[in-house]
């Protein structure tokens, strides 16, 4: 029998990249062959994101574009991930939500045999894909390892709890096993992923039964700080990052673990969303301006050189000029190394969509966003310029796109650094003296 080929495309966050690797592994194990060529595929899978209107629109355009390119019959288009629930009623597609990836091979067979269903969007209370070794891309530098799926926080603007379901922490043993496996495979860096890594929690009851689980045999409960420490100890020669933290759940223990282990990068992504207490409360964020600043002070106290980044939404329901100024004020206080800044878009199904009015005009949203972006640029530059003349540990990730005689890599704080190649190689850890910068990039020279 000729094996069927699948092509898989990704939209959205790092978690979707990680999910695609899980889906690829599931299909690979069932004899499907991955292809990078859309036109030779029998199955085209698109992993979707519905966090913002803009991402959804882009995906809908792409689906139409694919339909236009692929004029052949008997090609299956599959919608995976967050937008699956939107496509539930469109019978021509395979539609699979984030908790149903294991069903994909059967659903594909149903499609080609023209029998049964090929839609599955229900949520599971337990599915974490813990036993599946993701099929990763060949570039063996950084690997994403998902540690917790879903989110329980119910920020009023956010669709994630509805598209990805409730929080589910993954068995720590499977996480550590995977990290060790990645080290053996030659990977250099691990990024532990979750919508809110700080709420990772594993009750160890079941673990005691398995005596092989040496590293965690005496632990009753594994929280994020313990997990982070276990990972740092298990793969001491790898860099560890984690993404995303939540200001309400980040514990002092996590900060102390980051400080203690040199292989844990000194960078925290800590979304604030707004600097206004009024807006934070409308957003159902559990932190106030003062709580957030207090946490920032604590971080800087425990890890003085810690780099900080965040997510900010501009133009949320009822946001007035004063509230916007409060966000600028907070940014001026923290001076983030970098930020992801978004224009608010109403998402169907969220509390804000049901109960609040999207009443900030598009032109105001855009103006405020421009102000935020411009301010962030000055802060990024301020942070970067401060590192001129310092010597930094860099992991080389690839060849610079602007100049083939240069490599690019990252420092512990997650800044991109470019430097002449000299006698180094992709995947090496090296020391670079920083000599120059822009607001986006550091420039330097390798110290031999």
Residue ranges binding ligand SAH (CB under 6 A): 51-52, 157-158, 160, 195-196, 244, 271, 273, 311, 313, 342, 344-345, 347
Question: Is omega for the bond preceding 244 within 30 degrees of 0, making it cis?
Answer: yes
CA distance 352 to 274: 15
CB of 415 closer than 8 Å to CB of 391: no
Selected binder of ligand F3S within 18, 142, 195, 307 (CB under 6 A): 195
Q: Minimum distance from CB of 155 to ligand SAH (Å)? A: 7
Binding mask 135-154 for ligand F3S (x = CB under 6 A): ----------------x-xx
Q: Minimum distance from CB of 47 to ligand F3S (Å)? A: 17
Selected binder of ligand F3S within 20, 55, 163, 246 (CB under 6 A): 246
Of ligand SAH, ligand F3S, none, which one does residue 44 interact with (CB within 5 to 8 Å by kind)? none
Selected binder of ligand F3S within 13, 95, 155, 272 (CB under 6 A): 155
Q: Minimum distance from CB of 378 to ligand F3S (Å)? A: 26
Q: Minimum distance from CB of 389 to ligand SAH (Å)? A: 33
Nearer to ligand F3S, 179 or 308 (CB): 308
Selected binder of ligand F3S within 145, 160, 255, 310 (CB under 6 A): 160
**Residues binding ligand F3S: number (CB under 6 A):** 10
Q: Minimum distance from CB of 49 to ligand F3S (Å)? A: 12
At residue 130, the 3 state secondary structure works out as: coil
Nearer to ligand F3S, 196 or 337 (CB): 196
Q: Minimum distance from CB of 340 to ligand SAH (Å)? A: 7
Residues facing 359 on adjacent strands: none
Using the contact rule CB under 6 A, the part of the chain among 88-96, 115-123, 157-165, 173-181 near ligand F3S is 157-165
Of ligand SAH, ligand F3S, none, which one does residue 190 interact with (CB within 5 to 8 Å by kind)? none
Tokens representing residue 247 in the block: 């200001």
Nearer to ligand F3S, 128 or 196 (CB): 196
Q: Under 8 Å CB-to-CB from 150, ≥6 apart: which residues? A: 123, 160, 161, 164, 165, 166, 167, 168, 195
Tokens representing residue 313 in the block: 């939404």
Nearer to ligand F3S, 330 or 352 (CB): 352
CA distance 429 to 443: 16
Annotate 316-351 with DSSP letters as a single string. Answer: -TT--HHHHHHHHHHHHHH--SEEEEEE----TTSH
Give ∠ CA 225-247-141 in degrees, rounded to 5: 55
Q: What's the DSSP call for residue 264? A: B
The sign one gets for the Cα dihedral 49, 54, 60, 64 is negative
CB of 434 closer than 8 Å to CB of 387: yes
Give ∠ CA 196-197-199 in degrees, rounded to 5: 75
At residue 56, the 3 state secondary structure works out as: helix
Of ligand F3S, ligand SAH, none, which one does residue 342 interact with (CB within 5 to 8 Å by kind)? ligand SAH
Residues in the chain: 448
Nearer to ligand SAH, 189 or 198 (CB): 198
Nearer to ligand SAH, 87 or 344 (CB): 344
| Angle, helices 362-386/321-334, rounded to nearest 10 degrees | 10
CA distance 411 to 437: 14
Question: Is there binding between residue 165 and ligand F3S (CB under 6 A)?
Answer: no
Using the contact rule CB under 6 A, the part of the chain among 158-166, 223-231, 253-261, 392-400 near ligand F3S is 158-166
Question: Is there binding between residue 161 and ligand F3S (CB under 6 A)?
Answer: yes
Q: Minimum distance from CB of 74 to ligand F3S (Å)? A: 38
Nearer to ligand F3S, 159 or 417 (CB): 159
Range 261-291 burial, b when 16+ CB lie within 10 A, else e: bebbbbbbbbbbbbbbbebbebbebebebee
Selected binder of ligand F3S within 41, 63, 77, 158 (CB under 6 A): 158
Binding residues for ligand F3S, per CB under 6 A?
A: 151, 153-155, 158, 160-161, 195-196, 246
């Amino acid at each position: 029998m000729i094996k069927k080929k699948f092509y898989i495309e990704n939209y959205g966050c790092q978690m979707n990249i990680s999910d695609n690797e899980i889906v690829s592994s599931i299909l690979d194990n069932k004899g499907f062959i991955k292809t990078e060529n859309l036109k030779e595929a029998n199955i085209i899978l698109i992993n979707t994101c519905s966090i913002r209107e803009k991402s959804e629109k882009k995906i809908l355009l792409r689906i139409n574009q694919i339909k236009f390119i692929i004029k052949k019959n008997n090609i299956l288009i599959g919608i995976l991930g967050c937008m699956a629930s939107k496509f539930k009623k469109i019978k021509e597609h395979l539609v699979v939500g984030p908790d149903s990836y294991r069903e994909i091979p059967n659903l594909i067979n149903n499609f080609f045999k023209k029998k049964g269903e090929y839609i599955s969007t229900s949520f599971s209370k337990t599915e974490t894909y813990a036993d599946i070794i993701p099929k990763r891309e060949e570039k063996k530098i950084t690997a994403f390892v998902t540690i917790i799926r879903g989110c329980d926080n119910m920020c009023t603007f956010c669709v994630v709890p509805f598209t990805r379901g409730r929080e589910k922490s993954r068995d720590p043993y499977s996480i550590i096993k995977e990290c060790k496996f990645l080290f053996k495979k030659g990977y250099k860096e691990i990024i532990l992923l979750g919508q809110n890594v700080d709420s990772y929690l594993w009750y160890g009851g079941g673990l005691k039964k398995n005596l092989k689980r040496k590293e965690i045999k005496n632990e009753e409960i594994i929280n994020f700080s313990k997990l982070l420490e276990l990972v740092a100890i298990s793969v001491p020669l790898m860099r560890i990052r984690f993404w995303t933290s939540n200001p309400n759940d980040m514990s002092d223990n996590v900060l102390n673990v980051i400080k203690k282990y040199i292989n844990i990068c000194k960078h925290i992504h800590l979304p604030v969303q707004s600097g206004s207490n009024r807006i934070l409360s409308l957003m159902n964020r559990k932190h106030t301006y003062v709580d957030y600043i207090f946490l920032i002070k604590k971080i800087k106290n425990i890890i003085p050189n810690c780099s900080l980044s965040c997510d900010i939404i501009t133009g949320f329901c009822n946001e007035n000029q004063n509230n916007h100024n409060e966000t600028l004020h907070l940014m001026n206080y923290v001076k983030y190394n970098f930020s992801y800044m978004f224009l608010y878009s109403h998402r169907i199904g969220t509390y804000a969509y049901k109960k609040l009015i999207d009443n900030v005009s598009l032109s105001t949203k855009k103006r405020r966003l421009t102000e935020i972006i411009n301010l962030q640029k000055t802060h990024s530059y301020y942070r970067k310029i401060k590192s001129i003349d310092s010597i930094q540990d860099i992991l080389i990730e690839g060849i610079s796109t602007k100049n083939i005689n240069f490599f690019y890599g990252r420092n512990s704080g997650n800044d991109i650094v470019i430097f002449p190649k000299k006698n180094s190689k992709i995947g090496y850890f090296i020391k670079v003296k920083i000599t120059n910068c822009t607001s986006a990039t550091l420039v330097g020279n390798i110290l031999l």
